[in-house]
Amino acid sequence: MKQRIVIGGFAGAVVYFIWGNLVWMVLPLHTPTLSGLPNETAISEALKSQSLETSVYMVPWSDNEADWADPDSDWAKRHEAGPVYTIIYKKEGAVPMPPSVMLTGFALDLIMALLAAVLLSCTLGCCGKCYVRRVGFVAGLGVFVAFAAHASYWNWMHFPLDYTLAFMVDVSVGWTLAGLVLAAIVKPVPQIGGAGESCEPKA
């Protein structure tokens, strides 16, 4: 079974990695949810002039937690008036899409797919006996991540709804596709003389 987990994890990672490239470079899913600033240079220079360190910045901001519970605080009034935004700031810059980013991306996909394969193997004694249910299990992991991560950012960090939905679809579909492969590899070991499961795909 360990060999099936490793092979299944690698195959699932390849599928998810290919899907990730397609959804960003070919399919019009994410690009409509992103926009450039109308005066990027001026805004970048204004940020540089503040000598900011690499970090995540939220506006409006208050270090006083009491302001968060006080609807009459200056912070609450600025928050209500807007704008509300988050800046992910990397002051040293970065090479756009170097090979290391792609390699790291695949490594992360591999870690996730191996974890999914391990979890899937734990279901083989019960609901995981059926191929369709194994696919559904992995797809369910994707839906879980979609809500736990992206929907939470929409709720707590005010991420736009179209941006959030695009990522939720991306993750859910991607892990469903990976699940088709994982479920075909990480499966119960056939018993000699056993009848097998009627919902298994035919060889």
- What's the pLDDT band for 195 if we cut at 50, 70, 90? very low
Least-confidence region, from 68-77, 119-128, 135-144, 152-161: 119-128
- pLDDT of 173 > 90? The answer is yes
Which tens digits make up the pLDDT trace of 108-136?
999 999 999 999 999 888 877 899 999 99
- pLDDT of 201 > 60? The answer is no
Q: How far apart are the first and last CA of the chain?
A: 19
Q: What does the pLDDT average to over 51-65?
A: 92
In a domain, 127, yes or no: yes
The secondary structure of residue 57, as a DSSP letter, is E
- pLDDT of 190 > 90? The answer is no
On whether the CB atoms of residues 136 and 178 are closer than 8 A, the answer is no
In a domain, 201, yes or no: no
Which tens digits make up the pLDDT trace of 84-115?
999 999 999 999 889 999 999 999 999 999 99
In a domain, 194, yes or no: no
In a domain, 192, yes or no: no
Number of domains in the chain: 1
Can you state the angle between helices 99-121 and 2-25, rounded to 10 degrees?
130
- pLDDT of 192 > 70? The answer is no
- What's the pLDDT band for 199 if we cut at 50, 70, 90? low
Q: What does the pLDDT average to over 192-202?
A: 52
- pLDDT of 203 > 60? The answer is no
**Residue 151 to residue 93: CA distance in whole angstroms:** 29
Q: What does the pLDDT average to over 50-59?
A: 94
Q: What is the pLDDT of residue 68?
A: 87
In a domain, 124, yes or no: yes
Percentage of residues in the chain with pLDDT exceeding 70?
93
* Overall residue count recorded for the chain in this entry: 203
In a domain, 17, yes or no: yes
In a domain, 64, yes or no: no
In a domain, 6, yes or no: yes
Instruction: Please provide the DSSP assignment of 109-164 as one string.
Output: HHHHHHHHHHHHHTTTTTGGGSHHHHHHHHHHHHHHHIIIIIIHHHHHS---HHHH
Instruction: Show the domain range for 11.
Output: 2-36+98-185
pTM: 0.85
